[in-house]
Amino acid sequence: MQRTPVRGDLVAALVAAATVLVGVTMSSAPALAAGTGTGYLHTSGNKIVDSTGATVRLTGINWFGMETDNKTFHGLWSSNPWRSQLDTMANLGYNTLRIPFSNDALKAGATATGINDFVNPDLVGNSPLQILDKVIAYAGSKGMRVILDRHRPTSAGQTALWYTAAVPESTWISDWRMLAQRYANNPTVIGADLHNEPHAEGTNPAATGACWGCGDTARDWRLAAERAGNAILGVQPNWLIFVEGVSCPSGGLSNVWDGDTSNDEDCGWWGGNLSKAGQFPVRLSVADRLVYSPHDYAISVYHQSWFDAPDFPANLPGIWDKYWGYLFKQNTAPIMLGEFGSTLADPKDRVWLTNLMSYMGSGVNGMSFTYWSWNPNSGDTGGIANDDWTTVNQAKQSIISPYLIPPTGGGGPTGGPTGGPTGGPTGGPTPTGDCDATYRSTNTWQGGFQGELTVTNRGSAAANPWRVTWTWPSGVTLGSGWNATVTQSGTTVTAAAPTWSPSLAAGASVTIGFTANGSAAAPGAVALNGVAC
């Protein structure tokens, strides 16, 4: 089903024209995370494994908006900086970010709107793709992985087929090839969810929607997924290809007015019916890259008949087995449940969610998933974030939390920011003999500023873990920080090494970025592991 965002159009008024002098560094270092493994991922039977062969479980969340007319992440209009929102996701235990987008957001000249320039000054004037670059880079620094989801051909709404007259299949594939090339050397981005929620349209026998295994190249989603998946793998053979189901395998709806139910088709959620994938599997040109990615929802989205069955909720595992679970249980391919969510408004919703999490299994051997959604403005489900885009819906989080495998750099499933490492194996950071520090102001605005502090280790040994401290005048307070875990106590600011990059080698440099509130001021009394620079 299409989830309708709930927001006011006034957020567009928050956009201001400005140029921000901050570059994006596209990391090519292998992603390291407890939940998401090392290097690129591939499949082995029903498991997702990393470059060492270790089993990986993706336990993620959706952050939408890039598929809408804003063409970028929703919530950038809030008072919570974008990096802080990602910090919260990682600290809650979400190790993967699924990012919906429309082809409109990829066009030359596309404009991102709905950005609070006071809170997110580093995003003002950036294109949708430039903002995506920054989110991917920062998510990678947290140890998170990213799945790109082609959610809609245009920002106008979802479509039954993967193409429209305005956005033909050739555009769909060429845009996917562009993205695969753009992030070809960045293992934070692990794959492509080819098209969101293919589904039935038209009444049988005059079906016009997405079918599975029908052989009609204009409607057979399985064949289209092969064409797009193989085109992507031709550019980036290391990506996983995430393929959703359909709603009705025929691609059409049954005639409910003829009084004959004997030939009515067994249909499921949009994108949620993979019942024919065993008989008609997706065939890719590179082995061990296919992940099936169904969707499943609660009564708050649509009141399916099985919610009223006398044996509910005992009937749910059988329904999930039939539509998609059998692929996992028969060791055919991994399952990554790409969307599932609920407002929990109906008492049965809580029962559904509890049973679904249990069905997918616990620990690293369970099925992967990305919850819908972080956004509180999802009209059908609400979000993990509350309406302030800062605090968390604990009723939902408490059900999901036991199944989350946090990324390295995030906290545990129930944890929050810890301020970063406070000591190495011997109880404290390794001292260094000397250091240099240079500061660059990158932006200023009324009531705040942004800067970059670069510190070079001039000692003869590595600083492991490294920790940079500095002071600010009274009245200057930290807004957000990146490339380190940045905290403030009084007038002293501490930037602690992230767990993904704890060591600063002799002669190496680190650049710590930050925003701050108050009059612009350069950091003073800069020190590396307690030794003044």
Cα 70–74–80 angle (5° rounding)? 135
Hey, is 357 helix, strand or coil?
A: helix
Contacts of 516 (CB under 8 A, 6+ apart): 448, 449, 450, 451, 472, 476, 477, 478, 479
Rounded Cα gap, residues 60 and 370, in angstroms: 4
Cβ-based neighbour number of residue 262 at 10 Å: 4
Contacts (Cβ under 8 Å, ≥6 apart) of 504: 455, 457, 462, 463, 464, 466, 497, 510, 528
Burial of residue 314 (number of CB atoms within 10 Å: 0-12, 13-18, 19+): exposed
What is the secondary structure of 391-434 as a DSSP string? SB-HHHHHHHGGG--PPBTB--TT-----S----TTSSPPP-S-
Describe the crossing of helices 128-141 and 82-92 by its angle, rounded to 10 degrees.
Answer: 40
Alpha-carbon torsion angle 7, 8, 14, 20, nearest 10: 30
Burial of 351 from C-beta contacts in 10 A (0-12 / 13-18 / 19+): middle
Question: Rounded to whole angstroms, how far apart are CA atoms 403 and 394?
Answer: 15
CA dihedral (504, 505, 511, 516) positive or negative: positive
Specify the pairing of strand 47-49 against strand 42-44. Answer: antiparallel
- Tell me the C-alpha distance between 533 and 528, whole Å: 7
Which of 197, 226, 244, 452 is flagged as catalytic? 197
Q: 197 an active-site residue? A: yes
Q: Six-digit token pair at 473?
A: 């005048």
Q: Which of 525, 523, 509 has its CA nearest to residue 458?
A: 509
- Specify the DSSP element, H or E, that contains 517: strand 509-517
Which position among 201, 226, 339, 452 bears the catalytic label?
Answer: 339
Which runs of E-coded beta strand occur in 322-378?
336-337, 368-371
DSSP 105-116: GGSTT-------
The helix (H) or strand (E) run that includes residue 349 is helix 347-360
Residue 172 backbone phi and psi in degrees, to 5: -55, -50
Three-state SS string across 455-511, please?
A: EEECCCCCECCCEEEEECCCCCEEEEEECCEEEEECCEEEEECCCCCCCECCCCEEE
Type of residue found at 515: T
Phi, psi angle pair for 145, to nearest 5°: -105, 160
Q: Is 265 a catalytic residue?
A: no
C-beta of residue 124 within 8 angstroms of C-beta of residue 117: yes
Catalytically annotated residues: 197, 339
